[in-house]
Amino acid sequence: MSKVRIPFGKQIQKWLVKYPDLVFDGTVIKCLPCETHLPMWSVIQCRNHVNSKRHIQSQERQWPYMKFLSDLMFMLSVCDLPFVMPIEESFRVFWNKYVPMWKLPPRKTMYRKLQLIRQMVENHIRSKVANRKIWITIDKTTDIYNRKVINVLIRPMRSNQSSVPYLIASKKLKNVTAESITGVVQNAIARFGIHKNNVLMLVTDITECMLEAGKSLKDFYPKLLHVTCMLQTLHLVEVQIRDGYSDIDKLISSTKTVFESSTKRTNTFRKRCPGIPQPPDLIGTRWKPWLEAVFYYHTYFDQVKSFVLEMDPNDAQSIETSKQLFEDPQVRNNLHTLYNNYTPLSNAIKQLQDSTSSLSASLSAISNVICSLQLQTVMDITGMLARETLHDNLDKSPDYSKLCAIDQSSLYGNSSVDDKYFRYANMTCINMEHPFLTHISTFSPRHKALTETTIEALLMFEMFSRSHPALCQQ
**What gap in Å lies between CA 168 and CA 253, rounded to an integer?**
40
How high is the pLDDT of residue 408? 86
Q: State whether 358 and 316 are in the same domain.
A: yes
Do 105 and 202 share a domain, yes or no? Answer: yes
Q: Which domain holds residue 114?
A: 77-82+99-228+428-474
pLDDT per residue rounded down to tens, the chain (474 residues) = 444 444 555 677 666 767 767 777 667 787 877 777 877 667 788 888 888 888 777 766 666 767 777 777 777 766 767 666 776 788 888 888 888 878 777 777 777 777 777 887 888 888 888 889 999 999 888 766 677 888 899 999 998 888 888 999 988 888 889 999 999 999 999 989 899 999 999 999 998 999 999 999 999 999 999 999 999 999 999 999 999 998 998 998 898 888 887 888 888 888 888 888 888 876 656 567 889 889 999 999 999 999 888 888 888 888 899 999 999 999 999 999 999 999 999 999 999 988 888 999 999 999 999 999 887 677 788 889 999 999 999 999 999 999 999 988 876 566 677 888 999 998 988 544 555 555 555 555 555 566 777 778 878 877 787 776 555 455
Say whether pTM exceeds 0.85.
Answer: no
Query: Has residue 360 been placed in a domain?
Result: yes
Residue 58, domain member (yes or no): no
Q: Are residues 259 and 379 in the same domain?
A: yes
Among 350, 380, 396, the domain boundary falls at: 396
Domain final residue, candidates 396, 420, 449? 396
**pLDDT at position 324, please?**
92
Q: Clarify whether residues 157 and 278 are in a common domain.
A: no
- Residues 344, 277, single domain; the answer is yes
Q: Do 268 and 387 reside in the same domain of the chain?
A: yes
pLDDT of 2 reads 45
| Domain edge (last residue) among 378, 396, 414 | 396
**In terms of domains, do 433 and 462 share one?**
yes
Q: Does some domain include residue 422? A: no
Question: What pLDDT is attached to residue 1?
Answer: 40
At 6 the pLDDT is: 43
CATH number at residue 103: 3.30.420.40
Are residues 180 and 249 located together in one domain of the fold?
A: no
Per-residue pLDDT at 333: 93
Number of structural domains in the chain: 2
**Same domain for 372 and 436:** no
Q: Is residue 60 part of a domain?
A: no
**Would you say residue 87 lies in a domain?**
no
Query: Looking at the domain assignment, is residue 194 inside a domain?
Result: yes
Starting from the edge strand earliest in sequence, which strands make up the sheet with 199-204, in order? 166-172, 148-156, 134-142, 199-204, 225-228
Residue 122 shares a structural domain with residue 216: yes
The reported pLDDT for the residue numbered 219 is 92
Residues 433 and 461 both lie in one domain: yes
| Residue 44 is assigned to a structural domain of this protein | no
pLDDT of residue 137: 92
Residues 359 and 291 in one domain: yes
Residue 42 domain-assigned (yes or no): no
Confidence (pLDDT) at 4 = 40
